[in-house]
Amino acid sequence: MKRVAILISGGGSNMVTLVDSMQGDHPARPCLVLSNVAGAGGLEKARTRGVDTAVVDHKPYGRDREAFEAALNEVLDAAQPDIICLAGFMRVLTEGFTRRWAGKMLNIHPSLLPKYKGLNTHARAIEAGDAEAGCSVHEVTAELDGGPILGQARVPIEPGDKPDALAARVLVMEHQLYPAVLRRFADGDRSPVMLP
């Protein structure tokens, strides 16, 4: 049975769908939900689902990313995950951390990568006049929002779409995509999941 640690910074809606998907004949189970924000709403949702939680606040470490990540690794090494899922985790990770977890760490990003790496993805897609937006799950490498794509979901951009409305439609697809990718990944299958 593969052990999955999920890193969050906020509400954790993607974490909830991942945790709820790991049941029955699923080859993985959640072993930890870890947040860099003490009051993250997702922590309570994890606790009500019986999943161990931890907080490593990044603020005391200031600009010393390596020290913050050493504290993360202390908690992660104790949980011994086989897979790490970044789910609304809003800290940039150093190359050293991504190397430590190479081949085991996934992230969901709200754009059709390689387009729109970074923030404000939906506003940028609307601004560019794109016909569609979406989300991508990728293996995490040293390159921010880079790494091999393991799945994508496409969402049409409607005329007059506002970023929040588009984000809400994409989030629905994120909740379908990430569990589907995690299941394949946990089975050792890296063939991409393409939705719809």
* Residue numbers at the binding site for ligand GRF (CB under 6 A): 8, 10-15, 87-88, 108, 110, 135, 171, 174
CA angle 161, 163, 166 (to 5 degrees): 65
Residue with tokens 């921010």: 144
Query: Of the candidates 65, 52, 175, 158, which has an alpha carbon nearest to the alpha carbon of residue 110?
Result: 175
The least distance separating ligand GRF from the CB of residue 128, rounded to whole angstroms, comes to: 18
**CA 148 – CA 113 distance, rounded (Å):** 10
**CA 53 – CA 19 distance, rounded (Å):** 12
